[in-house]
Chains A and B, each alone.
Chain A
Amino acid sequence: MVDKKAYLFACVRNAALNDSKLGDRNTPLEPDSAWFRPPDRDYTGEQNLRRALEALPNEQRQVMVLHIWGELTFSQISDLLGLSSNTVASRYRYALAKLRDSMFAKENSCANS
């Protein structure tokens, strides 16, 4: 039986991929436009998160976004991306570690300076 949520994500992902293939329709994002509504007006945290996500490789960022903000399980993500659950879990672990290092290294360096 097809998982409805995973199916919906697959639809949106395919639509986004098709859209990005049409290069002339790509519009660059505003460099300072927010991706998230931060908790407690933590705009610095939002900026750090955005930059850390931008720095991730595409495949790791996909898994991270689908798991954290899409609230998909690894099994659903593996169906969606056509990967094994182990690969998905591995990508997620790498992404989470990189994100944490990137965000807190930045915050700590800001705090020290």
Chain B
Amino acid sequence: MPTLDDEHFEAYLKQFRPCVPEPLPAVEPRHRARRVFILGAWATAAVAILVLGALTLHIHTNRVRVAETIGNAGTPEFFQDSQPLTMRSANALMAKAPSFKTMVDDMAFRSQTVPLPKGKRSAVGVLGKEKIKL
């Protein structure tokens, strides 16, 4: 075959048409897995923040509610009814009373006002009447 000059050689080369290349490979599973892991981590962090926020809000709301209940229960009228003395009412009284002495006085006064069922006697009353020899 005779050697072609530049122009003819170029024309000869252009007769060869490039084959259509195969598409580039898709994103590798390793990269996809890494992306999924990062997204998952972000999602987990977001959920954790939401849960923590909800818990904090719940605890705060409960504290406010308890404080309100104690505030409502701590009035002197509360002790004038015939409800038995409980830790809650004692705590409420302690929280509301101006001093420890006042609180004890209130409790003592209340214990005397609580009506006893028929046939029962107050232990404090019995002990108060009994003469103890020391």
- Across the two chains, which residue of chain A brings its CB closest to B25? A25
Is A36's CB under 8 angstroms from B17's CB? yes
Give 13 new A-B contacts, CB below 8 A, not counting A37-B16, A45-B16, A99-B9.
A25-B28, A36-B18, A37-B17, A37-B19, A38-B16, A46-B16, A49-B13, A96-B9, A96-B10, A99-B13, A100-B4, A104-B1, A111-B1
A interface, by DSSP: helix, strand, loop or mixed? helix
**A-B residue pairs in contact (CB < 8 Å), sample of 26:** A24-B28, A25-B28, A35-B19, A37-B16, A37-B17, A37-B19, A38-B15, A38-B16, A39-B15, A39-B16, A45-B16, A49-B13, A49-B16, A68-B10, A68-B13, A68-B14, A69-B17, A69-B18, A96-B10, A99-B9, A100-B3, A100-B4, A100-B9, A104-B1, A107-B1, A108-B1
- Point out the residues of chain A lying under 8 angstroms from B127, CB to CB: none
Q: Flag whether B6 is at the interface (Cβ < 8 A).
A: yes
A49 and B19 CA atoms in complex are apart in Å by 13
- Point out the residues of chain A lying under 8 angstroms from B9, CB to CB: 96, 99-100
Is A34's CB under 8 angstroms from B19's CB? yes
Q: Flag whether A19 is at the interface (Cβ < 8 A).
A: yes
Q: Flag whether B24 is at the interface (Cβ < 8 A).
A: yes
- Point out the residues of chain A lying under 8 angstroms from B17, CB to CB: 36-37, 69
Q: Flag whether A27 is at the interface (Cβ < 8 A).
A: yes
A45 and B18 CA atoms in complex are apart in Å by 13
- Give the A-B pair count, Cβ closer than 8 A: 44
Q: Name the interface residues of A29-82: CB closer than 8 Å to any CB of B.
A: 34-39, 45-46, 49, 68-69
A92 and B28 CA atoms in complex are apart in Å by 37
Is A69's CB under 8 angstroms from B19's CB? no
Instruction: Please tell me which one of the listed residues A27, A46, A69, A99 contacts residue B14 in the complex, with CB atoms under 8 A apart.
Output: A69
- Point out the residues of chain A lying under 8 angstroms from B6, CB to CB: 96
Is B4's CB under 8 angstroms from A27's CB? no
* A36 with B1, Cβ < 8 A, contacts A96-B9, A96-B10 known: no
Is A35's CB under 8 angstroms from B28's CB? no
